[in-house]
């Protein structure tokens, strides 16, 4: 390989130093990690590096922190762990990042090249194990290949459809005592990186003919809906999306991964579609004559029963990943490209056709939509004095008492769905949740990663009691590293989402879902981890506790809200059913609407 030399002549460096220097040159400001035998030589040069290292308590935490950092900042998150059990501990975050297209670079230590394949201590086939949950992974076998491997990793993680990339580094390639680990420093140029990946050329610009067809189709539709997915955020396309929606005056649904990509307080916003989406978002998609899918992937949680999904709708599907087009639903107009760039071209094309003046009369459709909005808003019944708190009330208070640009992370379960429903998203990159994989335990480390990347913003994690027990130890990391995140546990004493399914679909036969409200004692646990812990049991205590938490900025805060376990998430499209069978809550007639 012809190398571009940037160091002084004779700038000899070992693999460990090269790895850290490469991360510095990639602009990395923080690494989330935990050392061990195989990665030890790389931890030594960290002492001399300006890069901040956040020492986690479990490698899963490092991975989710890197994801949270990436989702909040738009920059790739970096995690570094040792071999064997550490590498397997980070498989869940890799899979999570893969499913949600999150740019992340994971460095793992590996046993020495000479020991690979001998069942050496803490050896596992990291590249084999992680192959199906990474966009790309690679075992580096020579120290001098490290700079290129790191440049490729960042390039692949951040371009095209973003995703996690893993670089596995055997100990001898970074060990300063190994003469073979020393080489003359070089830093590959962009051209060299591109040339080293001949098969990798993501298409970003949509095909002009397809874009023109899409513009024509939009200009003829009378019941259109924009179906905006997480790809809009990845493409930094929120502004373009708004311009498009306003130009043609078409309503927008934002999927779980796209919350914040379009402001909830906009008159064209319909909120979240899918299994727990708003009645209007679900039904508008279902009855549309055109779905304009932008960076969304027709996930089963959105479509419900695929054969019954949006039966009359033509489909325009824009995605940077050609594999998404036609994967679930055949598009009438498929467009491969970066969603922001495609939207910008689509806007031009629509204007060429005469937009906004050439749009057909859609007043009947608009009236239908506002009728649904009036009849089926999100709703719940406030608790009686002395009863447990309603989770929706807690979320409304948290929303109204926190700064509008608060970053909100969640775990997985009922609390996640209520958070997505009841929050009022006004800005992109304020919502961080595990969508595709649905990883319990995501919120605390993800919130820490987000706060590390955005220290001036208020960062709340809304968590379930079950989720909290999976990754709470990372609050020790947050307290030690002075990363003052705020956690709201909705303690319903249950694995609530599973309980809801058992109540509704297993005749109230509750199997292994009860957790207890008091064990553990969340306040004592929070205090033991160096956080402020506050228990909240009645509605009058909710606002003062949130205000107190928002005023504490020198350590993490945990608020434990005692919530009503019988509360269920509505609307709901039962799994495997058609979106036409959407079930609304008891306040709206409890049953199929
Ligand atoms: C790692 C993992 N294990 C199991 C599940 C299945 N699951 C989904 S939601 C849920 C319950 C979550 O309980 P809790 O955190 O208390 O949230 P709640 O639903 O009560 O708000 C479970 C077990 C999962 N999503 N992730
Ligand atoms: Mg719970």
Q: How far apart are CA 420 and CA 260, in angstroms?
A: 10
* Cα dihedral 394, 395, 398, 399 sign: negative
Q: List, in order, residues 6 or more apart from 89 with CB less than 8 Å away.
A: 58, 59, 60, 81
What separation in Å is there between the alpha carbon of 97 and the centre of ligand 2? 24
Q: Please compute the mean of the pLDDT values over residues 95-99 and round it to a whole number.
A: 99
Q: Is any atom of ligand 1 closer than 6 Å to the C-beta of 414? A: yes
Residue positions annotated with a catalytic role: 59, 121-122, 171, 497
Question: How confident is residue 10, by pLDDT bands cut at 50, 70 and 90?
Answer: confident
Position 589 confidence tier, pLDDT thresholds 50, 70, 90:
confident
pLDDT band at 543 (very low <50, low <70, confident <90, very high): very high
pLDDT of 233 strictly over 80 = yes
Percent of the chain at pLDDT exceeding 90: 97
Q: Say if ligand 1 is within 6 A of residue 466 CB.
A: yes
Q: Check if 568 has its Cβ closer than 6 Å to any atom of ligand 1.
A: no
Given this model, what pLDDT does residue 591 score? 58
Instruction: Give the pLDDT score at 593.
Output: 54
* pLDDT at position 433 over 60: yes
When pLDDT is averaged across residues 293-313 and rounded to a whole number, the result is 98
At residue 7, does pLDDT exceed 70? no
pLDDT at 119 over 90: yes
pLDDT the model gives residue 1: 40
Burial code (b: 16+ CB inside 10 Å, e: under 16) for 228-241 equals bbbbbbbbebbebb
For the beta carbon of residue 208, count every other beta carbon within 10 angstroms. Answer: 11
- Computed on alpha carbons and rounded to an integer, the radius of gyration of the chain in Å comes to 25
Question: Which atom, in ligand 1's list, is nearest to the CA of 463?
Answer: 15
CA–centroid distance, 511 to ligand 1, in Å, is 14
Q: Which ligand is nearest to the CA of 462?
A: 1
Number of Cβ atoms within 10 Å of the Cβ of 356: 11
Q: Go through the chain and tell me how many residues it has.
A: 593
Cβ–ligand 1 contact at 93 (below 6 Å): no
Q: Whose CA is nearest to atom 1 of ligand 1?
A: 440
Pocket test for ligand 1, best of 410, 497, 516 (most atoms within 8 A of CB): 497
Predicted confidence band of residue 2 (pLDDT cuts 50, 70, 90):
very low
- Give DSSP secondary structure letters for 222-238: SSEEEEE-HHHHHTT-H
**pLDDT of residue 70 exceeding 50:** yes
How far is the centre of ligand 2, averaged over its atoms, from the C-alpha of 467 (Å)?
8
For a substitution probing ligand 1, which of 93, 389, 466, 569 has the most ligand atoms within 8 Å of its CB?
466
Confidence at residue 3, expressed as pLDDT on a 0 to 100 scale: 46
Each residue's pLDDT tens digit, 499-534? 999 999 999 999 999 999 999 999 999 999 999 999
The tens digit of pLDDT for each residue in 337-396 reads 999 999 999 999 999 999 999 999 999 999 999 999 999 999 999 999 899 999 999 999
User: What DSSP line would sit under 489-539, residue for residue?
Assistant: EEE-SB-HHHHHHHHHHSTT---S-B--SSSS-HHHHHHHTTSEEEEE-SH
Type and span of the H or E element at 367: helix 363-375
Rounded to an integer, the average pLDDT of 114-141 is: 98
* Ligand 1 atom index nearest CA of 418: 21
pLDDT of 281? 98
Predicted TM-score (pTM) above 0.95: yes
Instruction: Quickly list H helices, 190-315.
Output: 190-196, 208-220, 230-234, 238-248, 279-287, 300-303
Residue 6 pLDDT > 80: no
Which of 276, 444, 495, 575 to mutate to test ligand 1, by most ligand atoms within 8 A of the CB atom?
A: 495
Q: Is the pLDDT of residue 261 over 90?
A: yes
Q: How far is the CA of 466 from the centre of ligand 1 (A)?
A: 6
Q: How far is the CA of 498 from the centre of ligand 1 (A)?
A: 7
Cβ of residue 411 lying under 6 Å from some atom of ligand 1: yes
The pLDDT of residue 585 is above 60: yes
Task: Give the mean pLDDT of 27-39.
Answer: 98
Q: Residue 569: name the closest of 260, 282, 275, 301 by CA.
A: 275
CA angle centred on 315, ends 312 and 316, rounded to 5°: 155
The CA 480 to ligand 1 mean position distance, Å, reads: 28
Question: Has residue 4 got a pLDDT over 80?
Answer: no
Q: Is 465 in the pocket of ligand 1 (CB under 6 A)?
A: yes
Burial class (CB within 10 angstroms; exposed 0-12, middle 13-18, buried 19+) of 478 = buried
- Ligand 1 atom closest to Cα of 565? 20
Q: How far is CA 407 from the centre of its chain?
A: 12
Asked whether the beta carbons of 585 and 379 are under 8 A apart, the reply is yes
How far apart are the CA of 493 and the centre of ligand 2, in A?
5
Is ligand 1 within 6 A of the CB of residue 498? yes
506 in Cβ contact with 577 (< 8 Å):
no
- Residue 409: the pLDDT is 99
pLDDT digits (tens, 9 = 90+) for 385-407: 899 999 999 999 999 999 999 99
Ligand 1 pocket test: which of 412, 414, 489, 510 has the largest number of ligand atoms within 8 Å of its C-beta?
412
């Amino acid at each position: 390989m012809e190398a571009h030399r940037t160091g002084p002549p004779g700038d000899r460096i070992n693999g460990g130093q090269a790895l850290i220097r490469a991360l510095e040159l990639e602009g990395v400001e923080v690494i989330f990690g935990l050392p061990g035998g195989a990665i030890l030589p790389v931890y030594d040069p960290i002492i001399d590096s300006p890069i901040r290292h956040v020492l986690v308590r479990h490698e899963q935490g490092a991975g989710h922190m890197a994801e949270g950092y990436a989702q909040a900042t738009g920059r790739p998150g970096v995690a570094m762990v040792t071999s064997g059990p550490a590498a397997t501990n980070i498989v869940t975050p890799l899979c999570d990042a893969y499913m949600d297209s999150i740019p992340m670079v994971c460095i793992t230590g590996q046993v020495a090249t000479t020991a690979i394949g001998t069942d050496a201590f803490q050896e596992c086939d990291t590249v084999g194990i992680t192959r199906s949950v990474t966009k790309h992974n690679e075992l580096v076998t020579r120290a001098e290949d490290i700079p290129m491997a790191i440049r490729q990793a960042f390039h692949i993680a951040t371009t095209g459809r973003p995703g996690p990339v893993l670089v596995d580094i055997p100990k001898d390639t970074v060990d300063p005592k190994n003469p073979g680990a020393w080489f003359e420093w070089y830093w590959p140029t962009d051209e060299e990186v591109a040339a080293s990946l001949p098969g990798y050329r993501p298409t970003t610009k949509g095909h002009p003919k397809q874009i023109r067809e899409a513009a024509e189709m939009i200009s003829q539709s009378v019941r259109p809906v924009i179906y905006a997915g997480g790809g809009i955020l990845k493409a930094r396309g929120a502004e373009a999306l708004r311009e498009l929606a306003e130009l043609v005056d078409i309503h927008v649904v934002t999927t779980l991964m796209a919350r914040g990509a379009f402001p909830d307080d906009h008159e064209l916003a319909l909120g979240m579609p899918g299994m727990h989406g708003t009645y209007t978002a679900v039904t508008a998609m279902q009855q549309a004559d055109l779905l304009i899918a932008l960076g969304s992937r027709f996930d089963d949680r959105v479509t419900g029963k695929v054969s019954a999904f949006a039966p009359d709708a033509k489909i325009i599907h824009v995605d940077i990943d050609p594999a998404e087009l036609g994967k679930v639903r055949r598009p009438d107009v498929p467009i491969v490209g970066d969603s922001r760039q495609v939207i910008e071209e689509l806007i031009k094309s629509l204007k060429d056709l005469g937009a906004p003046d050439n749009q057909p009369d859609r007043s009947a459709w608009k009236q239908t939509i506002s009728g649904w909005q009036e009849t089926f808003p999100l709703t719940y019944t406030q608790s009686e004095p002395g009863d447990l708190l309603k989770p929706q009330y807690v979320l409304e208070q948290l929303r109204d008492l926190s700064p509008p640009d608060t970053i909100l992370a969640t775990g997985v379960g009922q609390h996640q769905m209520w958070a997505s429903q009841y929050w009022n998203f006004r800005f992109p990159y304020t919502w961080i949740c595990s969508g595709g994989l649905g990883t319990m335990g995501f919120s605390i480390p993800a919130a820490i990663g987000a706060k590390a990347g955005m220290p001036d913003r208020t960062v709340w994690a809304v968590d379930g009691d079950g989720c909290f027990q999976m990754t709470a130890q990372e609050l020790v990391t947050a307290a030690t590293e002075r990363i003052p995140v705020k956690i709201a546990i909705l303690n319903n004493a249950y694995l609530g989402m599973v309980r809801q399914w058992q109540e509704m679909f297993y005749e109230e036969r509750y199997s292994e879902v009860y957790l207890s409200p008091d064990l553990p004692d969340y306040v004592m646990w929070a205090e033991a981890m160096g956080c402020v812990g506050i228990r909240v049991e009645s509605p009058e205590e909710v606002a003062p506790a949130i205000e107190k938490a928002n005023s504490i900025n020198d350590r993490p805060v945990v608020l434990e809200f005692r919530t009503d376990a019988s509360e269920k998430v509505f609307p709901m499209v039962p799994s495997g059913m058609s979106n036409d069978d959407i079930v609304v809550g008891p306040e709206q007639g409890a049953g199929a609407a």
